[in-house]
Amino acid sequence: MELFTDDVRRNPFPLYARLRADSPLLHEPREDLWILFDYDSVKWALQDHDAFSSVVTTETGTTPDWLLFSDPPRHTKLRGIIMRAFTPRSIANLEPHVRELSRELLDVTVERGELDLVADYSSQLPAMVIAKMIGIPVEDRARFLRWGDIIMKLSYTIAGGDESKRAMVENAAARDEMRTYLAGILDERRRAPRDDLLTRLVEAEVDGERLDAKELLGFFQLLLAAGTETTTNLINNALLCFMESPDQLARLKAEPGLLPLAIEEVLRFRSPAQSMFRSTKRAVELHGRVIPEGKFVLPMIGSANRDPKQFREPERFDIGRDPNPHLAFGHGIHFCLGAALSRMEARVALTDLLERLRDFRLASDEPWQPRQALHVHGPTRLPLRFEPGVKA
């Protein structure tokens, strides 16, 4: 499918514009996949859980047993548990730690005048933050990152074929590793509770019952993947946007108070998650056609966020855009629980990066390689050269 080639994934937006205008509802017959491109349709699919289910079954199996892929009433109960870790107070309490981690990571590399933004910084920072929240030992961080990458490859099941089969085999092996690892840590928390997310999950109850091993593993996997990938790509994509639009970078440096709006515009313009999974719970009529019950639906968030019917001059990166009702974090009951955390991490990261990396530019003329997850947007590596800035 053309949508998932590397060339298109680097810049899917011209194709989105053409399909949104010609076929806002597209049926891909080989995989029997229905794809939504316009803002109103995508928003509807994300929020209407009576018409669209978050539990999706393809030829390679059903989506993982995670909060993200659950429907009410189970979703409501599970979300209530995980929300306890993402309160405004808990996010605010994390910010000094995030600042410390960010500066430590940059102190290691900045004096060289070059770095790989992904390997040296943007993949490390959110992983370290989530590891602290969960209660993962620092020495296990490399394994943590590897598991997250393997989980994200499950998106290859969209397109089927050999890549899909390899992703399923690799994930099965990693899941067994995670299950064994998690069992040991959870036993520790039962014997000696701590002030971390794993302890809260061990102690949590739904309708008077504790979470079982499968539910605990599902939470762990979700946090490994969703808790890191979105923020990593948000940071990477912000620097790509600023390199493509130096006038907007100059504007931000002149008006630092625009940073929160700039982050929202990056989320819209280069959405870290380009699509989400849904299936129809009943026949759904849309754009004069009918999607039958039980069909795999792909709402394209990255396309919706550039719909000219919703956004004025959608192909222009404008850090002052306000209002900006993008769908980058989803919509409705599945709105991303970690959105506030991701925004805070991006604010800290971009403040430090713009201070420490002066006159940053790409260190290679080679096109960047997309991340190994078909539904996300951002580079696997992003080598940069720059003039080292002085730490404040």
User: 271: closest CA among 246, 245, 305?
Assistant: 305
10-residue averages of pLDDT along the chain (392 residues) = 88 97 94 95 96 81 75 85 81 94 96 96 92 83 80 62 71 86 90 88 77 83 82 97 98 98 98 95 97 96 98 98 98 92 97 97 95 89 95 70
Distance CA 230, CA 123 (A): 10
Cis peptide before 73 (omega within 30 of 0): yes
* Kind of pairing between the strands at 33-36 and 296-299: parallel
Could you give the 3-state DSSP secondary structure of residue 298?
strand
Distance CA 135, CA 220 (A): 11
In DSSP notation, 306-324 reads: T-TTTSSSTTS--TT--S-
Taking the CA of residue 292 as centre, how many other CA atoms within 13 Å lie in the half-sphere pointing to its CB? 5
Distance CA 46, CA 67 (A): 14
Q: Give CA 47 to chain center in angstroms.
A: 18
- Structural domain boundaries of the chain? 2-388
User: Which pLDDT belongs to residue 77?
Assistant: 82
* Kind of pairing between the strands at 52-53 and 278-280: antiparallel
In DSSP notation, 147-210 reads: HHHHHHGGGGGGT-HHHHHHHHHHHHHHHHHHHHHHHHHHHHHHHS--SSHHHHHHH-EETTEE
pTM of the prediction? 0.93
The CATH code of the domain at 2-388 is 1.10.630.10
User: Which pLDDT belongs to residue 58?
Assistant: 65
